[in-house]
Amino acid sequence: MPDLRSPLLALLLAAAPASAEDVRALMLQARALQLRGGGEDPKAAAALYRRVLAQVPESAEANLRLSEALQEAEEPDAAVAPARRAVELAPQNAEAQAHLALLQYQRMQKDPAVGPQAAKELRAAAQRLPLDPELWARLGEVSEQLKDGEGALKAWLRLGRLRPGFSPAWERALIHARATQSYEGKREALLALNARGAEDRHLRLLEELAREQIKLGYLAHAEESFLLLARHLPQEAGLWENVSLIRMQTSRFAEALETLAKAEAIKGSPNLTFHTARALMNLGRFAEAEARLSVLVAQPIEADWIGDGAHMLYAEALLLQGKGKVLLTFLQNRPPRPRTDSEAQVFKVQAHVSQDDWPSALAALREGVARFPLLPFFKQADKLPPKYLEYRFFSRKEARAAVENLYLEGMAALWQEFSRWDKCLEALERARRLVPTRSVDSLILQSQALDQLDRHAEAMAVLREAQALEPTNSLVQNNLGYLLLEQDVQLEEAAALIEASAKATPDNGNVVDSLGWAQFKLGRIAEAEATLRRAVDLSPFSPEVRKHLGEVLVKQGKLAEAAEQWERALAFVFPERVGLEKRLGELRVRLAKEAAAKREVAASETAPKAAAPDEDEEED
């Protein structure tokens, strides 16, 4: 027949002297008298447990049960000593630790001075039994009474995660998150409170959070908040519009069109028409954008920024479709708008060139130089020999080439605005055939287009050309150095270039980030950490900087802080988001395993040593 006795009872019996009372019978009799055993006389149970301990004083089981009986008999102060002794004798016994913690919590209700000890025991118990909701709830309450806002926040968040539908835990967590200015705590609590049926006040707080997230640059988090709001308030067009604006700001134009359509279906507005046109332009759907913008430019609009923006976007749509004649008619009939008259003058020049009307183009160019001398397009035109802008000299090959080059570079910049890198590169290559000697600015743009088209070797060659023209140009130095880093070639030269760029522009967060990444790739880890921390200070909203700092921290074994930096990076939206999410998940698993291993080591170090087997016994 199998032995059904518990291991603790077996040890207890083995430790009892041969002449002792029947310890097992005493334990069972006492258990039956306890309230939790179905009995009604915990004091009698305590007396029996004391008789057991007189024979086996080192029994953790008997100490634990004595403490329970004393607690049931409403003698909590007397129950503390045996509870502590049970924990000392069996430090790996989670039940004993939890009992001591809850006992101290009970005592604290009458004696606040017990608070610090109660908090300590509850923390220890919660670490041993992390899935026990009562321990986290009591720890939250004790932390509140001790005015430990951060401790209370952690406890209520843990309880909320264990019981997602238990709103009071999230409510308490939200209170402490706001008091301690914990952004992550506030975000988690509000998302949880609004995950199911949301109250109006929770929705209002979530909207406040979403707007705060936009100010902080946490666009991924803001999108999440607005989408949750829209789920509860699907007929609020403004919420869908906000989601769309975030998606456009992060260059996800196809997704933006989906939510813009939802907003328009609820209530159309000039804002939505304009934003839809912008999204269409960025998707290369210029004819559709033109159709929408033609409606806007034909009517007065109260918001100047939409009126100005719609006029210029309409002009761009026409120009990029080669509709120079329509564009000229529009510009001629367009009322003056001081904020955009200079841009309109550029479009006028380009429209005339597209129609091969050089006399009119040159006249518009001269007018632009006179009226808007600080605009880059006209500033560049002003550098040309004055006679090049006179039609009687325009038959000369070099004059026409110079002006046409100006036009093509302007078109390249326009194609770049909508990320049409193929068209941008085509315009720049045509310009290069006209005027082989390039400006550094046009070479930088050409290298950027080549890099975006994954033609990295050609991009490198163009940057080398720019370097030869202006070896101390800080932008060329940074771009060339970073491209070398990304290709994992000539790392020493890359670092030297970026160091020179950082020296010239010490407050440029992008350049300081490049420098830190170069130091990391060269194995100068401590330097890289210091540099990238400075880059974070300069560019706190850059996901790339935080991603790089996280890499350095992982290399140094600072895994918890690395995870924190990657969490911050994921608050933004950037192309490498999916890959970083996967790596962060792997890092979280690694951290959890290391924490569990440390707990096991700590427990084994405090556990009583097992007795060595007798020499005549075989080990299992």
Give me the phi and psi of 396, to 5 degrees please: -70, 135
Between 5 and 125, name the one with better pLDDT: 125
Tokens standing for residue 579? 């890959």
In whole angstroms, what is the distance from residue 231 CA to residue 240 CA? Answer: 10
DSSP class per residue in 568-586: HHTTS--TTHHHHHHHHHH
Tokens standing for residue 39? 């009995």
Residue 618 is predicted with a pLDDT of: 34
> Is the pLDDT assigned to residue 530 strictly greater than 90?
yes
Residue 335 is predicted with a pLDDT of: 85
Tokens standing for residue 415? 């194609």
Tokens standing for residue 480? 């060339």
Q: Which of 8, 5, 113 is nearest to 62 (CA)?
A: 8
Q: What size, in residues, is the chain? A: 620
Residue 464's CB is within 10 A of a number of other CB atoms, namely 13
**E strands, 309-424, in order:** none
Residue 395 is predicted with a pLDDT of: 72
In whole angstroms, what is the distance from residue 68 CA to residue 79 CA? Answer: 7
Question: Which residues have CB under 8 Å from 619's CB, separation 6+?
Answer: 613
Tokens standing for residue 424? 């941008």
b/e per residue 18-38 (b: at least 16 CB within 10 A): eeeeebeebbebbbebbeebe
In whole angstroms, what is the distance from residue 42 CA to residue 69 CA? Answer: 5
pTM, rounded to two decimals: 0.81
Across 409-435, average pLDDT: 95
> Is the pLDDT assigned to residue 13 strictly greater than 60?
no
Across 588-609, average pLDDT: 72
> Is the pLDDT assigned to residue 545 strictly greater than 90?
yes
For helices 270-282 and 304-320, give the axis angle rounded to 10 degrees: 30
Q: Which of 112, 156, 120 is nearest to 136 (CA)?
A: 156
In whole angstroms, what is the distance from residue 260 CA to residue 3 CA? Answer: 71
Question: Band of the pLDDT at 496, cuts 50, 70, 90?
Answer: very high
Burial of 83 (0-12, 13-18, 19+ CB in 10 A): buried
> Is the pLDDT assigned to residue 151 strictly greater than 50?
yes
> Is the pLDDT assigned to residue 10 strictly greater than 60?
no
Domain residue extents for the chain: 508-597
Question: Band of the pLDDT at 605, cuts 50, 70, 90?
Answer: low
Across 218-228, average pLDDT: 94
Residue 15 is predicted with a pLDDT of: 47
Residue 324 is predicted with a pLDDT of: 95
Residue 594 is predicted with a pLDDT of: 84
pLDDT in tens, 20-43: 568 889 999 999 999 988 999 999
Across 291-310, average pLDDT: 84
When the pLDDT of each residue in the chain is averaged and rounded to a whole number, the result is 90
> Is the pLDDT assigned to residue 251 strictly greater than 50?
yes
Across 139-168, average pLDDT: 96
> Is the pLDDT assigned to residue 49 strictly greater than 80?
yes
Question: Band of the pLDDT at 473, cuts 50, 70, 90?
Answer: very high
Q: Under a CB-based contact definition with an 8 Å cutoff, are residues 435 and 405 in contact?
A: yes
What is 508-597's CATH superfamily? Tetratricopeptide repeat domain (1.25.40.10)
Across 297-305, average pLDDT: 76
Across 558-564, average pLDDT: 92
